[in-house]
Amino acid sequence: MYWSLFIAACACFAASVPLYLLIPKAGPVPPFLEAAGALKVFALGALEIPSHYLAGAGVVLCCLYSALALGFILSSFRKTASTEVFFFSIWVLSVGFEVFRLGAFALAAGGSTAYLQAAEARVLLFSRYAGYLSLFASGLYAVGFRNEKLGTVVGVVLIISLGLALAMPINTGSYAPTLELRSGYSALSAALLAIVSIVSIFNFFYASAYKGERTYKIIALGAAALIIGYNLITSLWHPLPLLAGFALLVAGTWLFVSRLHSYYLWQ
């Protein structure tokens, strides 16, 4: 299973590079971004970088992180098994699916239909919901949830994610500087994901007390770093938050995976 997730993450990274190289073809002032008021410029002295170049670089970093992190998981858990890491791996893959932001940009620049652009936006929403819910499932297994039919749990996560993605209205004319189409009920969606994030982190802290393992406190801190980093790299386009988000993703993954690996080696 880890091999298939790793291959999918590598495919996302491989797709992100040519998609990023297509950005200059849209010109320094893409009309659809300008019309949506989503075209910004980062200025540092005489240096000026349009926001779509920086946001696109953030997408490439997401895809690079996903491939590297799943490669790390594959090498670490080749001979050990962990349900927590299995669902965490799905979350890592969902970060690689940020490539659909570049796909949406390419569709808009190519003058594609509103239907295709909306479909691309829903796939992105679906992957994000599935990622957060998978991280939540990882926390549930950490505190003692015992459903051996992993396919059933994965199916529930995917069905809920699909339902949420289809329920969100998409405004095909409203792009964000991060190269994604804005969806309706954004405040409600953000609140839902915030609650899922907080409960997921709490589950790992609770697992530390429930199992008497301090390791899970470190894992909880790693999960917090992951969530903060992911939000920075997906919601902002300035270079410093993008780099900080990538660093937090890498640090959080190392804490999460290395501590779980050490824990299961002694079981």
Instruction: Identify the CATH number of the domain in which residue 185 sits.
Output: 1.20.1070
Neighbours of 200 (CB within 10 A): 25
Straight-line distance from the first to the last Cα atom of the chain, in angstroms, rounded to the nearest whole number? 22
Q: What percent of the chain has pLDDT over 70?
A: 96
The partner residues of 263 in beta bridges, in order of sequence, read: none
Indicate the angle between helix axes 83-96 and 114-142, nearest 10 degrees: 160
49 pLDDT above the threshold of 60? yes
For the CA atoms of the chain, what is the radius of gyration?
Answer: 19
- The model's pLDDT over 244-259, given as tens digits with 9 standing for 90+, comes to 999 999 999 999 988 8
- At 19, the amino acid letter reads L
Rounded to an integer, what distance in angstroms lies between the CA atom of residue 260 and that of residue 58?
28
Give the pLDDT confidence score for residue 186 in this predicted structure: 85
Q: In this structure, what DSSP letter does residue 42 have?
A: E
- The model's pLDDT over 97-151, given as tens digits with 9 standing for 90+, comes to 999 999 999 998 888 888 888 899 999 999 999 999 999 999 998 888 776 778 8
Q: Write the CA distances from 3 to 7, 48, 103, integer angstroms.
A: 6, 41, 25
Across 215-233, b (16+ Cβ under 10 Å) vs e yields: bbebbbbbbbbbbbbbbbb
The partner residues of 48 in beta bridges, in order of sequence, read: 43
Domain that holds residue 186: 2-265
Tokens 């299973």, residue located: 1
Residue 95 near residue 70, CB atoms below 8 Å: no
**Largest interatomic CA distance in the chain:** 59
Mean pLDDT of the region 4-9: 94
Phi/psi for 238 (5° steps) reads -65, 145
The partner residues of 96 in beta bridges, in order of sequence, read: none
Q: pTM of the full predicted structure?
A: 0.93
Instruction: Say how many domains are in the chain.
Output: 1
208 pLDDT above the threshold of 60? yes
209 pLDDT above the threshold of 90? no
Contacts of 155-162 with C-beta under 8 Å, sequence gap 24+, read: 157/90, 157/130, 157/133, 158/130, 160/129, 160/133, 161/126, 161/127, 161/129, 161/130, 161/133, 162/126
For residue 34, give the nearest of 133, 132, 153, 175 by alpha carbon: 175
Residues contacting residue 34 through CB under 8 Å, at least 6 positions apart? none
Residue 253 near residue 230, CB atoms below 8 Å: no
Tokens 């339902």, residue located: 163
Q: Write the CA distances from 162 to 57, 121, 159, integer angstroms.
A: 27, 12, 5
